[in-house]
Structure 1
Amino acid sequence: MIIIWQGFGFLGLLIPFLMSLIAQLATDSIYEKGFYSGHPLISVAVLFISAAVVWLVGVKLNSGPSRLLVDPKTGQQFDFKKKHTMFWIPLQWFSTVVAALALLVAFK
């Protein structure tokens, strides 16, 4: 599988992965081994929380300042802005993919 991102778009996959890993290690160490995999609602909650985190990070990163350049010959203006995307989806909107994954896990 090919993963395509621009800027810090890779955080759209990294944040849910790391949050799920930390949640699994924490619940399995606090309770018994296999507790996280035995209780799928924990993973659903973690995925929804990570979707919110991805949304906030995406809004923060994609709301940065832009650079306005003017072509001296035509006078046409070009607005250049740094993009943070995952699979050509802006990072804040990629959080809906993470939330959809949470719903898929919930109704599986």
Structure 2
Amino acid sequence: MIVWKGWGILAIVIAIVCSVAMQLLCDAVFGSGYYRSSRWAMPLALLLASGIIFFVGQKLNRKPGKVVIDKETNEEYILKSTHSLFWIPLRYWGIVTAVLAVWMYTVSP
């Protein structure tokens, strides 16, 4: 089960699109099956995806909220849409993906 709010699902979509694009590029340039056998291709794809995820999350969070005034208490509330995946804001998924990419590169044989 995947839980997201707003455009939080983009974290997964961007990571998959970058991975597929890197696989197509590597297999076209270096030959079939190179993407799966290489040590650097998948971490690089995730590192590129992490930058895109972070900046998309930042851009979505810059949108101003709507100010609503409660008629009974006369208090102001700001209604702003949030974009998260598994309750983690989208921009932080960029950092998580970058850490995962570095970990994959350093741990892989």
Letter in 1 for 2:67: L
Cα deviation for residue 104 of structure 1 reads 2.7
Q: Whole-Å Cα distance in 1 between the matches of residues 64 and 73 of structure 2? A: 24
Provide the alpha-carbon RMSD of the alignment.
1.1
Letter in 2 for 1:97: V
1:56-86 Cα offsets, whole Å, 9 max, x none, are 0000011101001111111121110011111
| 1:28 partnered with 2:27 | yes
Letter in 2 for 1:27: C
Query: TM-score, normalised on structure 1?
Result: 0.92
Cα deviation for residue 100 of structure 1 reads 2.2
Give runs of ≥4 in structure 1 deviating > 2 Å.
none
| 1:49 partnered with 2:48 | yes
Q: Is the 8 A contact 2:14 2:53 kept in 1?
A: yes
| 1:13 partnered with 2:12 | yes
Cα deviation for residue 41 of structure 1 reads 0.9
Range with bigger deviation, 26-35 or 8-17: 26-35
SS for the counterpart of 2:77 is strand
Aligned residues: 107
Please list every run of 5 or more consecutive structure 2 residues that lacks an aligned counterpart in the other structure: none
Q: What are the residue-to-residue correspondences of 1:39-78 with 2, within 5 Å?
A: 39-78=38-77
Q: Whole-Å Cα distance in 2 between the matches of residues 16 and 72 of structure 1? A: 45
Q: Whole-Å Cα distance in 2 between the matches of residues 79 and 88 of structure 1? A: 20
Query: TM-score, normalised on structure 2?
Result: 0.91
SS for the counterpart of 1:9 is coil
Please list every run of 5 or more consecutive structure 1 residues that lacks an aligned counterpart in the other structure: none
The sequence identity of aligned pairs, in percent, is 30
Letter in 1 for 2:84: T
The aligned counterpart of 2:83 is 84
